[in-house]
Amino acid sequence: MSEKKKLHPISAVANFLKQLKELIIPFVFLVFINRGESAEGIWGWLPFIIGAAVLVVLLIAGIIKWLRFSYWLEDGELRIEYGLFVKKKRYIPFERIQSLDLTEGILQRPFGLVKVKVETAGSTDMKQAEAELTAISKAEAGELQRIINKAKASKRSKVAEEEKQVVQDSGEVVFKMTFKDLLLMATTSGGAGVVISGVLIFLSQFDELIPYERVFNEVEQFVRSGVLLVTIVVTAGLLLAWIIAIIGTLLVYADFTVRKQGDDLIITRGLLEKKQMTVPLNRIQGVRMEENILRQPLGFAAVKIESAGGSILEKESSTIQILPMVKKRKVAEILKNVLPEYDFNVDLHPVPKRSLKRYLFRESLLVTAAVIGLSIAFWPLGLWSLLLYLPFWLFGYAKYRSAGWSINDTQLTLRHRFIEKSTLFMKKYRIQSLETTQNLFQAKKELANVTATVKSGEAGAAGKVIDLDDESVRSIYHWYYPEKQSL
């Protein structure tokens, strides 16, 4: 496969849409907002003419990028030539390629194509993948994977029969999400807030187009029409946002499957846009289990892996969801053949009882200013605002109950709660740094904090526990730094 290959022509359309997406806000501003209301004749059409010219330029640029892009395999390297005006060359040795992630998008699917994203051990550009083939056939993508895997296997001195078996084997199914679990995950995802905030952010880009004074007057008249009607409309809006969030989750996670193929995990998901992600097992730095407020009472959790590599903007390539929603008691059984070195059934040590006051105090700070203001402004009825402390104290107590830690010969486990309860399982040899901190107030109570970090993407992923007793912190510290005898 040393001859140069071109991408499918649909790649030109993909390039055009990608550039248009990046310019959508200034484009809308140019065409609609910047158009003078009193403009007549040709001047009234000028913004539309400029907008059409921009579209033509973007389309031509997309076509040129497609024409000037080529790739081929030669001398153990994936070689790429590209560039709009200046032709550039990029040579990627096979041994640096960690995975080829395949995406079957809306543009690619009708033509039987996929987008291939090349992930490497150390990207030259932290903001994106090392290389991307926007539209090649599934057969070419499979052949590309086969050749690269075979070359890497021969580097490791594997026998030919083992290579053939790894390549041809479709892999052992580790986990496949049922529609029942998928629907339950969608209804408890909390995505309605994301939908509403997304709409508000989008509308905020068009401040000059929205007649706020008229809108406020209409809202005022609407509110006066009755509390019941307002309640019904608001409830209907929230219900609609919730339904949209459910549909979005179903589309993204449809047919979610995890397979183990050789030394890799293959994750596939999606209905409209099918994605396939390959995760080498040796890149896994830690395992995180998350339990949100809605799913925890039902005994469900989500499991993610922290992976080395990836880029800053491609967070999905560093923190990867392998079990979007599963019964917590089944996690160890599902992952025992994939990650046998991890112990998921650990008994965590809680934080000491004397730290409870500090957990409650921290949450109280969030509402104290509001309570004082309401009490002064509406004295004496404002004293009822003291009840605002109750939900914050309950949340502080939940954080206190969630915090915990555990160590064995090779593994450190730390658990804390922000909104979700998060447990990070880390192997000792994967931990990049271990930090202990203590302020004056903690010192009086003989308490301290501990934070452990594993590599994830270009930054890192941290597990922490706040207000542990000094003795526990020393135990963790000496476990990680056995040669040091004091903090």
Query: Residues 227-253: pLDDT tens digits?
Result: 566 677 777 877 887 888 888 888 989
pLDDT of residue 85: 77
In sequence order, the 6+-apart residues with CB closer than 8 A to the CB of 466 are 351, 355, 359, 403, 416, 449
Strands (E) across 29-76 are located at: 70-74
DSSP letter at 105? -
DSSP letter, residue 346: P
pLDDT at 163: 46
Q: Which of 100, 181, 188 is nearest to 144 (CA)?
A: 100
Name the strands in the sheet holding 300-307, side by side, starting at the edge strand that comes first in the sequence.
Answer: 319-327, 300-307, 284-291, 421-427, 411-417, 404-407, 349-350
Sorted by where each begins, the domain ranges of the chain are: 10-168, 180-253, 257-351+403-480, 353-400
What is 171-202 written as a DSSP string?
A: -EEEEE--HHHHHHHHHTS-HHHHHHHHHHHH
Bridge partners for 90 per DSSP? 80
The 88-93 sheet, strands edge to edge? 70-74, 77-82, 88-93
What pLDDT is recorded for position 402?
94
pLDDT digits (tens, 9 = 90+) for 188-229: 876 655 555 555 555 554 554 455 555 566 655 655 556 566
Q: Which 3-state string (H, E, C) describes 437-477? A: ECCHHHHHHCEEEEEEEEEEECEEEEEEEEEEEHHHHHHHH
- What the block records as the tokens of 123 is 């990207």
Instruction: Determine phi and psi for 455, rounding to 5 degrees.
Output: -70, 135
Instruction: Say how far apart CA 183 and CA 354 lie, in whole Å.
Output: 42
Radius of gyration, alpha carbons of the chain: 28
Query: Which pLDDT score is estimated for 123?
Result: 53
Is the pLDDT at 271 greater than 90, yes or no? Answer: no
Helix (H) or strand (E) holding 79: strand 77-82
| Spatial separation of the C-alpha atoms in residues 31 and 49, rounded to whole Å | 9
**Nearest-CA neighbor of 5 among 139, 151, 136?**
136
> Structure pTM?
0.75
Average pLDDT over residues 414-424: 93
Band of pLDDT at residue 267, cut at 50, 70 and 90? very high
| 450-480 per-position pLDDT tens digit | 999 998 876 788 999 999 999 999 999 999 9
Instruction: Return d(Cα 437, Cα 236) in angstroms, integer.
Output: 48
pLDDT at 156: 58
Q: Output the pLDDT for position 201.
A: 53
Query: Burial, 415: exposed, middle or buried (Cβ in 10 Å; 0-12, 13-18, 19+)?
Result: buried
Residue 445: which of 416, 475, 466 has the closest Cα? 466
CB atoms within 10 A of CB 391: 11
What's the confidence (pLDDT) of residue 333? 92
What pLDDT score was predicted for residue 82? 86
Question: Coil, strand, or helix at residue 411?
Answer: strand
For residue 328, give the DSSP letter.
G
Beta bridge partners of residue 288, listed in sequence order: 304, 424
What does the block give as tokens for 393?
């104290």
Lowest mean pLDDT among 283-292, 301-310, 333-342: 301-310
Going by C-alpha positions, the residue among 27, 19, 2, 129 that lies closest to residue 84 is: 19
Torsion angle of the four alpha carbons 118, 124, 127, 128, in this order, in degrees rounded to the nearest 10: -20
The lowest-confidence range among 167-171, 280-284, 285-289, 320-324 is 167-171
Residue 31 pLDDT grade (very low, low, confident, very high; cuts 50, 70, 90): low
Diameter of the chain by CA atoms? 84
Enter the tokens of residue 347. 């008994």
% pLDDT > 90, the chain: 31
Looking at residue 294, what DSSP letter applies? T
